[in-house]
Copies of this chain bind each other. A is one copy, B any other.
Amino acid sequence: MVPVGEHWGQSALDLAGAAVQAVRQDAGIDGVDLLVVANMLAASGRHGQLNLGGQIADWSGLRGIEAFKAEAACASGGSAFRAGWLAVASGQVDVALVVGVEKMTETLGPEVTLGLASAADADFEVPHGPSFVALNALIMRRYMHEYGWKREDFAPFSIVAHDNASRNPYARLQDRISLEAYRKARMICDPINLLDASPIGDGAAAVLLAPLDRFSPSSGRAPLRVAACTSATDSLAIHDRREPLRLRAGEESAARAYALAGVGPKDIDFFELHDAFSIMSALSLEACGFAAQGQAPRLGLDGDLAADGRLPIATHGGLKARGHPVGATGVYQIVEVVRQLWGEAGRNQLRRAQLGMAQNVGGSGATIVTTILQRSN
């Protein structure tokens, strides 16, 4: 992965190319059969770029190989990983390279806001005026109303994320934050304040998928097994959901992932969740069975989610502080799980990291991909 940030001197191709080069050197595998690109916004606007698959393959020195782009808004990264995994599982593709890339910071603010709104329903949500933050604010307010939480009960999600990011040189925001700072943070869209919301960013991350026997033991690293990568959907519009406080697609994809991996929530050592907004952390934890409905903030208040807690989350800073280069985020999550499982997470290394999980959310819960990776020895 490349650090998430404002990369004024580098294009999307530069960023993707750097991630591809890094993963190929890292894996020690030369031949690549398939490139799946995860991206959300490059096609938007008047001077958009489609056909990123062929373009990034060419730019990365892989001209000619099979390639396409997978898109499911902010769940593009997870969806691309799922597509790459299925391709290898089919036996027709030996080595699949998945690269997530997004270039956002040189676009004007209102354009980014419009672009992000493309993840919401363009017919039945966007015309009424809400930005993507506003849609999440509606969910958060309802959640507080239903379950009796106060605003600051959500603070631990962000405090933990920033704490972990402070030890991650790839993170966009590497400063720790206090409860006091959270309390005083500027309101963006009530009840979401600045420290509930993840920052956009430029970035790229890549992973390589291949049959386990392709990895030579000489690399000194344990091969990692994709125990599960599953995906499910829900309506785009929040108002179309019977229970807007439940991520049904998250529940469904998590249930399938647990069944496929033969594990349950208690077996998961750490969880890279999709904390685009702190309310999404709560909903994702509940969808995956880590907390009862409406009770996820308790995990944060009890210290369970910190690096030394029962279920560490956002171990590299999460979307909140590592940063959220939207279409690439799902691939960053996978890379971070890999680093933990390999024992290469530096100052963020967890003591116990045998089974790691990531959940990647597109839209306000419309597409959700759950991935479980496992050390195979």
Contact = CB atoms under 8 A, between A and B. Distances in A.
B123 A11 contact: yes
Interface residues of A, number: 64
B53 A72 contact: yes
A43 B67 contact: no
A249 interface: yes
A91 interface: yes
A367 B231 contact: no
Interface string A48-72: 1111011101100001111111111
Contact of A122 (B48, B65, B75, B119): B48
A236 B51 contact: yes
Contacts of A121: 49, 55
Interface string A67-101: 11111110110010011001101111100000000
A198 to B, nearest CB: 18
A114 interface: yes
A99 B243 CA distance: 29
A277 to B, nearest CB: 17
Contact of A50 (B71, B90, B230, B235): B71
Given A51-B119, A122-B48, A235-B58, A68 B71 contact: yes
Interface in A248-284: 248-249, 252-253
A123 B91 CA distance: 36
Contacts of A82: 66, 68
B51 A73 contact: yes
B54 A234 contact: yes
Given A86-B86, A122-B47, A233 B54 contact: yes
Contacts of A51: 71-73, 75, 118-119, 236, 362-363, 366-367
A253 B65 CA distance: 9
A240 interface: yes
A131 to B, nearest CB: 13
Contact of A68 (B45, B50, B83, B114): B83
Q: Which 5 pairs show the lowest CB-CB distances between chains A and B?
A: A54-B233, A89-B90, A54-B366, A51-B73, A68-B79
